[in-house]
Structure 1
Amino acid sequence: MRVILVDDERLALQQLRKALECDVSGIQVIGMFSDPAHVVEDIKKLQPDAVFLDIHMPEISGLKLGEQLQELVPSIEIVFVTAYDRYAVQAFEMYALDYVMKPIQSSRLQKTVQRLREKIETGEDNKQELEPPFICCFNQLRFQLPGEEAQTVKWRTSKAQELFTYLLHHRERVIDRNTLIELLWPDFEMDRAAKQLYTTAYHIRQTLKSNRMEAVSISSGDLEAGYRLTVGEVRIDTEEWENKVKQLGPIDLHNVAQHEQALKLYKGDYLGDYEYMWAEQERERLRLLWLRHAQDLSQFYMEQGRWQGVIKVNQRIQQLLPDNEESYFTLMQLYDSLGYRGRMEEQYWLLISRLEQEMGVTVSANIRAWYENKKPLHC
């Protein structure tokens, strides 16, 4: 169990850590804080299972801080550590799993930790039961069950994979049989193609069952009408990512960390590992949405003077979209303003290499002119 400790008295922190690590098994203290502000800054990065939190601190009450921590990490369990009498403690219990009275008794601490362990283990079990599976569409189609890593799907045939993916792309809609036949078996006679479609749909159902993805279903109803794929409560990573970006709103100091996380959640192109022409429009739409988001984040960092943030975002753009000239030009201008001539030139020649040598595309005239204009200034 990973825990953090918060107390404005450093000696009290040391004593509690010693009591936890020496008297209780299975506890890992991953952080100790005497400044409440530092807890708020680090809590999301640490993601502890529980916090042992002193009630009486000069800058902020433990009750108030506990509420803030629960907002930042909703799954966290709180144990208050207090010298107050039991009548006062009764008011704290509505916020916390437990409390420990000072001076701390080893037997009482062990009971608290046991309660914590039971609550966390029960919570994990319930979480796995309640969480729906994921269908991953960034780059490669994969299935992810609750509590497990995403797995590549082994399809019976490439036609089965494409039929499933096409129906997923048009989920919750009936796609008529002729459209599917024209897509997958355009050269077959109609009777033969119809049999192939029926057999392939059967193989998809078997694959879903063997991968424990029974929540996803393909219904045919009237075979003359076509097929429909229904995902139910199953989540789709590209859809979740897009909703997250749209819900965050404009970037500011309060939500910039969430925007950074959303940027990382975009793993690559929509079904990018497959040459499905029918997916290209959606692929380009999501790609441009991510690019605009990345550029907005880069601009925010620039306005805040956070140069490392600008560099990281534009390097990420270059990884996913190596032909995006603006990312190179942004870094060229930044490095030039910071006096890093070598890095500025490196960006220019990296752009030349990728566009002209690898893609056969000429670098924009304005970027070339800007670079040529800079050369005499450093000679």
Structure 2
Amino acid sequence: MRMILVDDEKLALEFLERQLSKVGDIEIVGKYTDPLIARDEILHRDVDAVFLDISLPELDGIRLADQLLEKKPNLNIIFVTAYNEYAVQAFDLNALDYIVKPVQTERLIKTLDRIRQRINLRAKSHVIHSGDIHLNVFRQVSVGEIGNMSLLQWRTSKAQELFLYLLQHREQLVRKSVLIDLLWQDHDSEKIYSQLYTTVYHIRKALEPYKDRFQIANTTEGYVLHLNQIVLDINEWDRRIGTLPPLTADSIDLYQELTKLYTGDYLQEYDYWWAESERQRYKSQWLKLSYDMGDWHYRNGALEQAAASYLNIIFHDSLEERAYYQLMVIYSEQQPAMVHRQYQLLESVLEEELGEAPSDYITEWYKVWQESNQILKH
């Protein structure tokens, strides 16, 4: 595997190079202390992975990774950091892994195995034709090629909502009467159909840049939205989740890749009541996968990865009590101050958002832990 190492400390670079030389068939094609030079080299060279320090001058590792992944979305980035506080950002950026300094050979072996698995997985995965364009509806609606996504522009809010409703019911007939009840309940009945036809016209005009990728078929009774060579993120989600094998060391990367496809709730930025059922369905699936991953890592002693999973859950939904609880259990082994911190955060967010206290099982666990921690101090 071809790799580039980036760290502003020369001694740290040399140490990492020595550690890597012990654990496998690795070709280090570049070592850089300057992140700007490193960025140019990575973008113009054929590399499989980048080991990247987070605390860099001029351009920190998080921002550098974001820029690299925008141009090379399949690049394997491994963060090397002296702290674990960047776990959520690393996870959210689609980084493959992050390692806490000093880097140990046993930990590197696991990381290199994950790189190989991801490379093999992508080689065997579903191939998207070069002519396809992507349409994302997790969080915010965007369309285009990977690395060049943009928001759809609508002349009216009615056009936007009607399109998204047709999209939710894609490849199905949606009756005109249903659309009228949805969008024009209080309008003059004599003008309703005229407004419907005008809105559909505006949708077609907005979709013109994509030619025949979106087709709205008109029938006497209603409309059918057809997608041609469109990679829809929720279709990809449904396809992958339907073929997931049991969670094991061999399949953990499949779970990791799938959870990263979920960038936010379904149509999160759009307050449409009719989308709520689908929104909750996808969110429930994502939460189950995320908890399954965190629990699996915890059972297998990978506490950093377990914590990253639970932190990512909280990042997306700050009211998920169980995620705070699992973090408290992890931190109770070595970081007592973080146990207090997580409990205080949970207490604060529940009081502010819901006017409630943490669940009894969490409060009881915290009380028992505090008492036992005091005994150990004495």
Q: Which runs of 4+ in 1 moved over 6 A?
A: 2-5, 67-70
Pair 1:378 & 2:373 matched: yes
| Other-structure match for 1:342 | 337
Structure 1 pair 213–254 and aligned structure 2 pair: CA distance change class (3 A): farther
| Other-structure match for 2:36 | none
| Other-structure match for 1:134 | 134
- 5+ residue gaps, structure 1, are 18-25, 33-42, 47-66, 76-126
Shift of 1:73: 5.0
The TM-score, its normalising length taken from structure 2, stands at: 0.67
Pair 1:328 & 2:345 matched: no
Tell whether the 8 Å contact from 1:294 to 1:313 is kept in structure 2 after alignment: yes
Shift of 1:72: 4.6
Pair 1:218 & 2:216 matched: yes
Shift of 1:30: 3.8
Tell whether the 8 Å contact from 2:48 to 2:75 is kept in structure 1 after alignment: no
Shift of 1:233: 2.8
Output the CA distance in 1 between the equivalents of 2:46 and 2:335: 42
Q: Could you tell me which amino acid in structure 2 is paired with residue 312 of structure 1? A: A
Query: Aligned-residue CA RMSD in angstroms?
Result: 3.1
Tell whether the 8 Å contact from 2:48 to 2:76 is kept in structure 1 after alignment: no
Shift of 1:31: 7.0
Output the CA distance in 1 between the equivalents of 2:290 and 2:119: 29
Q: Could you tell me which amino acid in structure 2 is paired with residue 360 of structure 1? A: G
| Other-structure match for 2:247 | 251
Of the three residues 14, 28, 39, the one matched with 2:45 is: 28
Identity %: 30
Tell whether the 8 Å contact from 1:301 to 1:310 is kept in structure 2 after alignment: yes
Give 1:178-189 correspondences, 5 Å limit.
178-189=177-188
Say which is worse superposed, 243-252 or 268-277, in terms of deviation.
243-252
The TM-score, its normalising length taken from structure 1, stands at: 0.67
Q: What whole-Å deviation, never above 9, does each CA across 1:38-78 have from its counterpart, x for those lacking one?
A: xxxxx9727xxxxxxxxxxxxxxxxxxxx999845539xxx
Structure 1 pair 304–189 and aligned structure 2 pair: CA distance change class (3 A): same
- 5+ residue gaps, structure 2, are 5-20, 31-42, 50-73, 78-115
Give 1:30-109 correspondences, 5 Å limit.
30=47, 45=76, 71-72=120-121, 74=123
Of the three residues 346, 349, 365, the one matched with 1:351 is: 346
Output the CA distance in 1 between the equivalents of 2:139 and 2:48: 37
Output the CA distance in 1 between the equivalents of 2:303 and 2:367: 24
| Other-structure match for 1:296 | 292
Q: What whole-Å deviation, never above 9, does each CA across 1:313-338 have from its counterpart, x for those lacking one?
A: 000000111111100011111211x1
Q: Could you tell me which amino acid in structure 2 is paired with residue 218 of structure 1? A: I
| Other-structure match for 1:202 | 201
Output the CA distance in 2 between the equivalents of 1:281 and 1:132: 29
Output the CA distance in 1 between the equivalents of 2:118 and 2:338: 41
Pair 1:367 & 2:362 matched: yes
Shift of 1:152: 0.7
Tell whether the 8 Å contact from 2:155 to 2:202 is kept in structure 1 after alignment: yes
Q: What secondary structure, in the 3-state scheme, does the structure 2 residue paired with 1:74 have?
A: helix
| Other-structure match for 2:144 | 144
Output the CA distance in 2 between the equivalents of 1:238 and 1:69: 22
Q: What secondary structure, in the 3-state scheme, does the structure 1 residue paired with 2:143 have?
A: strand
Output the CA distance in 1 between the equivalents of 2:189 and 2:45: 65
| Other-structure match for 2:310 | 314
Output the CA distance in 2 between the equivalents of 1:376 and 1:70: 48
Tell whether the 8 Å contact from 1:298 to 1:310 is kept in structure 2 after alignment: yes
